[in-house]
């Protein structure tokens, strides 16, 4: 059910995270939806309070206080007697209350399939898309011995299992064999021992009876449509919906206070708006924005322990999400070093540092995760590590966001010699319109220019790409809000959620150092004109404020191109932001840093100076 401003004039949305519950107020003011105040309080899902609603009440109280101050109106109130007043009556109450949740470790799942790269991957995609952390994918062909699989299933204590396998009418034996392994492991749910583990079966429908016989006494088995009814068809919707239902009805029920919270989240007609897993809500808003603006979007949330990447690509707005469970900036920082390797981190550092000193610094951050870089040198090092964490997480994302594997495609003559095969990534940096970063290291960098540089170096946007950060991570709230009011969600997303950094222009291709790469003539709104033939291997920053638009004539040289149609010349509007327009002629595909350390350090210093990323003292 969708509402508009006639029914929704004041909405409270909360996101109950593992540590903090964040509340925002969205209001219809002067003909538009705006996010007006926000409050936060510690999440209270653990002892001694053991009731998530306490944290919600505290965060909403802060909202009320701030709203009273903002409007100089002491009568404003959203809750009475510890409950929301819905719908709003003048100063009292709100028209809707919605919430997302990732408290208590979020939703943790195990998935199974027959062939890991086909039904297994589809099951993984369904679980990730539904906002889960996938603890393991167990498939008939995953090279582990059966007894090892049983051991593994037993050790994991997921919130639920999603079982896929076989197209309809295809293999039964392998699917039932997997059910037998699950039955032998007799898995137990993570929260509470008083209920049976929910298991969703979304595989070959011809195997349903056998799977039921094998599993019905051991687990709480639920059947839904096959996730991969045919090899060339992926049907994730029913499995995702089932995961959400189970998350609400079984998993959340076990978390303290959620029974109460689930009755609070409602729209103006008192109809329940289900609590969403936080990442699923982020997926929702990103798809809504991609549709509304007709653009492709990539979002990243880099935390202390994990990095989530969300993307919406292709004309069908296909949404993908990946969680890189061990790439993060504090708890997992040392794993970034182990995965990326020291040389990859050092390639972003504009000074020499002893290996053992760097290793010890990283480990000290790991064991004391709440410390902050006080020295400039340590800030630069942390941001270098962040670039590698983001790069690795994005690589994993690109490998996962692919067309269906194992299918045959009919090709026309124009494709006969192209390399595209089934399983190719759908992530196309050239057609990407918007790149959004969030998470401490990106949102709270002392200079926004540093956030822009981290996004560019890690993601290597191609052609013309807008850059932004979601500084308070409002995307979850807007994602669940879009369930009842897409208009409010997308309006607030555009006006209040994002801080636009600016636009990156990066011609794709290789050239020779010093040779012309890009001629840019940019007419700025204040009447000045930027005009330069920029050599290969450079960066330029042209200030252009938030909401400002510049008319640009761009021409790429040598073998370089500017957009997905391989145009070498473009006339486009470039959008500003708190940083401005960044012209990057360092090349793409390949993007190469000078191999010689001294030359590389000099280049890094030149780029960092041009982008005003760091104070001069460290770039001397």
Partner 1 sequence: MGQAYSAGLTVTENTVLRKERLLPLKGEVLVNKGDKVKAEDVVAQTLLPGKVVPLNLANKLGVTPAQLSNFVKVKAGDQIKKGTVLAENKGLFGLGIMKNSVTSPTDGEVESISAHTGQILLREPRIPVQVKAFIDGVVTDIIPNEGVIIENKSAYVQGIFGIGGETVGTLKFLASSPEEELLPEKIDDSCAGTIIIAGAFVRYPAIDKARKVGVKAIITGGIDDQDIKQLLGYDLGVAITGHENVGITIVCTEGFGKINMAKKTFNLLQKFNGAKTSIHGRTQIRAGVIRPEIIIPLEFQAEELTAPEIKLPVLEVGTLIRVIRQPNFGKIARVISLPEELTKVESETLVRVLKAQFEDGTEALIPRANVEVIES
Residues that bind partner 1 (CB under 8 A): 105, 146-147, 150-151, 172-173, 176-177, 180-181, 183-185, 210, 214, 305, 326, 330-332, 334-335, 337-339, 355-357, 359-376, 378-379, 444, 446-447, 615
Placement of tokens 């086909």 in the chain: 118
Q: Nearest approach, Cβ of 573 to partner 1 (angstroms)?
A: 32
> Which residue carries 């981190």 as its tokens?
345
Query: Which is nearer to partner 1, 8 or 366 (by Cβ)?
Result: 366
Q: Diameter of the chain by CA atoms? A: 76
**Residue (369 or 535) nearer to partner 1, CB:** 369
Task: Kindly tell me which of 274 and 369 has the beta carbon lying closer to partner 1.
Answer: 369
Query: Closest distance between partner 1 and the C-beta of residue 136, in Å?
Result: 16
Tokens, residue 582: 């960044």
| Min separation Cβ 356 and partner 1, Å | 5
Task: Quote the least distance from Cβ 556 to partner 1, whole Å.
Answer: 35
Spell out the residues 6+ positions from residue 533 whose beta carbon is closer than 8 angstroms to its own.
Answer: 516, 518, 519
Instruction: Give least dist CB 169 to partner 1, A.
Output: 16
Nearer to partner 1, 79 or 441 (CB): 441
User: Could you tell me the smallest distance in angstroms from the CB atom of residue 391 to partner 1?
Assistant: 17
**E runs forming strands in 30-106:** 32-42, 79-80, 83-84, 96-101
Nearer to partner 1, 356 or 410 (CB): 356
- How near is the Cβ of 81 to partner 1 at its closest, in Å? 31
Rounded distance between C-alpha atoms, residue 75 and residue 514, angstroms: 66
Task: For the CB of residue 341, give the shortest distance to partner 1 in the complex, in Å.
Answer: 9
Q: What angle do CA 145, 148, 150 make, to 5 degrees?
A: 115
Q: Nearer to partner 1 by C-beta: 360 or 602?
A: 360
For 305-327, b/e burial (b = at least 16 CB within 10 A) is: bbbbbbbbbeeebbbbbbbbebb
Q: Closest separation between CB of residue 149 and partner 1, Å? A: 9
What gap in Å lies between CA 284 and CA 476, rounded to an integer? Answer: 8
Q: How many Cα neighbours within 13 Å face the side chain of 561?
A: 9
Tell the smallest beta-carbon distance from residue 374 to partner 1 (Å).
5
User: Which is closer to partner 1, CB of 94 or CB of 349?
Assistant: 349
- Reported as half-sphere exposure (CB side, CA atoms, 13 A), residue 133 has a value of 19
Closer to partner 1 by Cβ: residue 323 or 434: 323
What residues does 266 pair with on adjacent strands? 97, 272
End-to-end CA distance of the chain: 59
Question: Whole-number minimum distance, CB 152 to partner 1, in Å?
Answer: 11
**Shortest Å distance, C-beta 388 to partner 1:** 14
Question: Residues of 42-51 as b/e, b for ≥16 C-beta within 10 angstroms?
Answer: ebbbeeebeb
Q: How far is the CB of 610 from partner 1 (least distance, A)?
A: 18
What's the Rg (C-alpha) of the chain? 25
In the complex with partner 1, which residue's Cβ is closer, 59 or 334? Answer: 334
Give φ, ψ of 460 to 5 degrees. Answer: 50, 60
Closest to partner 1 by CB, 133 vs 508, is 133
Between 111 and 445, CB nearer to partner 1: 445
Vertex 192 angle, CA 186 and 195, to 5° = 55
8 A C-beta contact, residue 99 and residue 125: no
Residues in CB range of 542: below 8 A, 6 or more apart: 522, 524, 530, 550, 580, 581, 582, 583
Please say which residue, 1 or 372, places its beta carbon nearer to partner 1: 372
Are 306 and 327 spatial neighbours (Cβ–Cβ below 8 Å)?
Answer: yes
Helix axes 121-129, 237-246, angle to 10 degrees: 50
- The SS3 call for residue 549 is strand
CB of 469 to partner 1, least distance (A): 16
Residue listed under structure tokens 């819905």: 86
Q: Nearer Cβ to partner 1, position 190 or 398? A: 190
Count CA atoms closer than 13 A to 249's CA, side-chain side.
11
Q: Give Cα separations from 216 to 114, 210, 211, 414 (angstroms).
A: 20, 10, 8, 52
Judged by CB, which is closer to partner 1: 248, or 366?
A: 366
**Stretch (H or E) spanning 179:** helix 173-185
Give the Cα separation of 456 and 467 in Å (integer).
9
d(CA 557, CA 508) in angstroms, rounded, equals 10
Q: Quick one: DSSP state of residue 368?
A: S
């Amino acid at each position: 059910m969708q509402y508009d401003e006639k029914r929704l004039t004041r909405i409270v949305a909360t996101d109950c995270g593992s540590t903090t519950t964040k509340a925002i107020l969205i209001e219809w003011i002067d003909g538009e939806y705006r996010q007006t105040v926000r409050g936060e309080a510690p999440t209270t899902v653990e002892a001694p309070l053991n009731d998530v609603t306490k944290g919600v009440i505290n965060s909403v109280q802060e909202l009320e206080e701030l709203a009273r101050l903002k409007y100089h109106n002491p009568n404003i109130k959203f809750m009475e007697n510890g409950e929301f007043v819905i719908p709003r009556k003048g100063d009292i109450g709100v028209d809707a209350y919605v919430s997302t949740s990732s408290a208590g470790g979020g939703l943790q799942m195990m998935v199974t399939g027959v062939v890991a790269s086909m039904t297994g991957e589809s099951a993984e995609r369904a679980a990730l898309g539904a906002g889960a952390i996938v603890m393991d994918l167990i498939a008939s062909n995953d090279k582990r011995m059966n007894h090892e699989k049983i051991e593994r299933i037993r050790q994991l204590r997921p919130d639920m299992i999603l079982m896929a396998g076989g197209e309809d009418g295809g293999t039964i034996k392998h699917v039932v064999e997997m059910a037998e392994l699950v039955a032998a492991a007799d898995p137990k749910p993570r929260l509470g021992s008083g209920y049976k583990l929910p298991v969703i079966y979304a595989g070959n429908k011809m195997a349903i009876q056998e799977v039921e016989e094998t599993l019905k006494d051991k687990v709480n088995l639920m059947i839904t449509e096959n996730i991969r009814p045919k090899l060339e068809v992926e049907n994730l919707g029913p499995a995702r919906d089932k995961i959400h239902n189970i998350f609400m009805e079984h998993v959340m029920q076990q978390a303290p206070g959620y029974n109460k919270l689930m009755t609070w989240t409602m729209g103006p007609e008192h109809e329940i708006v289900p609590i969403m897993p936080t990442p699923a809500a982020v997926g929702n808003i990103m798809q809504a924005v991609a549709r509304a603006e007709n653009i492709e979007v990539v979002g990243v949330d880099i935390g202390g322990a994990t990095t989530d990447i969300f993307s919406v690509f292709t004309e069908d707005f296909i949404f993908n999400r990946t969680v890189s469970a061990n790439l993060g900036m504090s708890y997992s920082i040392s794993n970034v070093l182990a995965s990326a390797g020291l040389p990859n981190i050092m390639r972003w550092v504009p000074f020499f540092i002893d290996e053992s000193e760097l290793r010890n610094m990283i480990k000290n951050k790991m064991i004391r995760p709440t410390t902050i870089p006080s020295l400039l040198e340590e800030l630069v090092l942390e941001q270098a590590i962040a670039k590698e964490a983001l790069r690795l997480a994005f690589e994993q994302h690109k490998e996962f966001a692919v067309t269906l594997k194992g299918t045959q495609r009919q090709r026309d003559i124009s494709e006969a010699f192209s390399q595209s095969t089934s399983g190719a990534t759908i992530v196309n940096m050239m057609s990407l319109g918007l790149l959004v970063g969030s998470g401490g290291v990106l949102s709270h960098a002392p200079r926004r220019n540093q956030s822009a540089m981290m996004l560019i170096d890690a993601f290597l946007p191609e052609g013309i790409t807008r850059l932004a950060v979601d500084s308070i991570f409002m995307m979850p709230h807007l994602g669940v809000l879009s369930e009842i009011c897409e208009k409010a969600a997308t309006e607030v997303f555009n006006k209040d959620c994002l801080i636009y950094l600016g636009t990156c222009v990066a011609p794709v291709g290789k050239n020779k150092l010093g040779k012309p790469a890009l001629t840019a003539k940019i007419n700025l709104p204040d009447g000045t004109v930027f005009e330069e033939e920029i050599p290969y291997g450079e960066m330029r920053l042209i200030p252009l404020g938030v909401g400002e638009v510049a008319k640009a004539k761009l021409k790429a040289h040598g073998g370089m191109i500017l957009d997905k149609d391989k145009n070498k010349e473009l006339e486009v509007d470039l959008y500003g932001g708190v940083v401005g327009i960044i012209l990057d002629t360092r090349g793409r595909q390949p993007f190469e840093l000078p191999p010689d350390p001294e030359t590389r350090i000099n280049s890094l210093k030149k780029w960092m100076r041009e982008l005003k990323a760091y104070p001069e003292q460290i770039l001397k």
